[in-house]
């Protein structure tokens, strides 16, 4: 019986009805350690003999791929593939498939949730009350505030629709702008114009080439003093040292983050800062997003393996 490896934490923990389609097609399902992101050694132990791989956000190195002599298809249960050594996959003739748009709604809704939490300091206030401390931080109202979106694909567009519905002005920069998208109170702008005009900046783009940070000392210096940042995209997009420096100086009023270079993080300095709101990569962690992503990932495996 040919085998398929399943590694997303949401699926190894509780499974999903869509996986039954793989069993019905004659595949044996192999699961990594339930609820835990597999490391390189676990992947090297489990992948040999597998023709398919339904993958999460774990790092999939060239060494891992080279150990999987029978592997033909990696199907992500999300859109990002920067965790996969794509060059090694091409060299080994392993196809990579994505569940495009599956988690767009979930990530967009989390972004708006973090936006409210950040500008009104909701977690800070809650923590104080639970510690019997009556401590307050002044917030801002969102009406007529400028939200800058760096990256405006499916997730960014959904965020823009939500934000304009709140009375915000939305501007966006994208390397390949879709000019057919033009709701009221929305404009496409240059990257520098976005930095200069935005009260809040939210990131919705893939990792840059070679993992270079987009938010660094230079770009932060172009931003308004007191800017708020939100990153639900990729950890490598921000230079943590530069952001910490900006938080300490007050140039950055606060930042909300949902993605980390290592998950769980090995360095909690940014997470523990009192002007940081941190969530454990829950953008696409909704019942609906998981179901959509799993169904698409399973369909991609069946189409490409058969």
60 burial type by CB count under 10 A (0-12 exposed, 13-18 middle, 19+ buried): buried
Residue 262 DSSP code: S
Closest of 300, 289, 291, 292 to residue 52, by C-alpha: 300
62 burial type by CB count under 10 A (0-12 exposed, 13-18 middle, 19+ buried): middle
Neighbours of 141 (CB within 10 A): 10
| Cα–Cα distance measured from residue 258 to residue 281, given in angstroms and rounded to the nearest whole number | 5
Instruction: Pull the structure tokens for residue 301.
Output: 């495996």
Instruction: Give the residues across from 147 on adjacent strands.
Output: 170, 200
Catalytic residue, from 263, 273, 275, 295: name it: 263
Residue 144 DSSP code: T
**Residue 34 contacts residue 12 (beta carbons within 8 Å):** yes
263 as an active site residue: the answer is yes
| Cα–Cα distance measured from residue 130 to residue 151, given in angstroms and rounded to the nearest whole number | 37
Catalytic residue, from 98, 145, 204, 281: name it: 281
Give, in order, the Cα–Cα distances in Å from 132 to each of 127, 135, 216, 276.
9, 9, 37, 21
Catalytic residue, from 9, 98, 145, 234: name it: 234
234 as an active site residue: the answer is yes
Sheet of 200-203: strand order equals: 186-188, 169-173, 146-150, 200-203, 227-231, 252-257, 276-278
Residues 6 or more apart whose CB falls under 8 angstroms from that of 91 comprise: none
| Cα–Cα distance measured from residue 268 to residue 271, given in angstroms and rounded to the nearest whole number | 5
145 as an active site residue: the answer is no
Neighbours of 77 (CB within 10 A): 29
Query: Which residues are part of the catalytic machinery?
Result: 234, 263, 281
């Amino acid at each position: 019986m040919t085998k398929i490896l399943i590694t997303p934490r949401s699926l190894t923990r509780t499974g999903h009805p869509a996986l039954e389609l793989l069993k019905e097609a004659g595949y044996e399902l192999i699961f990594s350690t339930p609820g835990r992101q597999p490391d390189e050694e676990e992947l090297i132990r489990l992948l040999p003999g597998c023709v398919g791989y339904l993958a999460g956000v774990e790092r999939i190195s060239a060494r891992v791929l080279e150990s999987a002599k029978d592997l033909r298809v990696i199907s992500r249960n999300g859109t990002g593939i920067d965790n996969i050594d794509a060059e090694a996959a091409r060299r080994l003739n392993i196809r990579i498939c994505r569940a495009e748009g599956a988690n767009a709604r979930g990530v967009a809704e989390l972004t708006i949730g973090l936006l409210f939490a950040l500008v009104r300091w909701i977690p800070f206030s809650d923590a104080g009350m639970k510690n019997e401390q009556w401590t307050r931080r002044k917030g801002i109202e969102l009406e007529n505030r400028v939200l800058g979106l760096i990256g405006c694909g499916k997730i960014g567009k959904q965020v823009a629709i939500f934000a304009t519905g709140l009375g915000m002005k939305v501007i966006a920069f994208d390397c390949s702008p879709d000019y057919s998208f033009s709701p009221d109170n929305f404009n496409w702008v240059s990257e520098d114009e976005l930095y200069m005009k935005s009260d809040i900046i939210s990131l919705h783009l893939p990792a840059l080439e070679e993992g270079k940070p987009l938010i660094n000392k230079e770009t932060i210096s172009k931003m308004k003093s007191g800017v708020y940042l939100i990153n639900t995209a990729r950890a490598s997009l921000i230079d943590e040292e530069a952001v910490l420096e900006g938080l300490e100086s007050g140039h950055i009023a606060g930042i909300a983050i949902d993605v980390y270079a290592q998950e769980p993080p090995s360095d909690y300095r940014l997470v523990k800062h009192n002007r940081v709101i941190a969530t454990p990569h829950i953008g696409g962690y909704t019942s609906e997003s998981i179901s959509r992503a799993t169904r698409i990932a399973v369909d991609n495996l069946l189409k490409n393996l058969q």
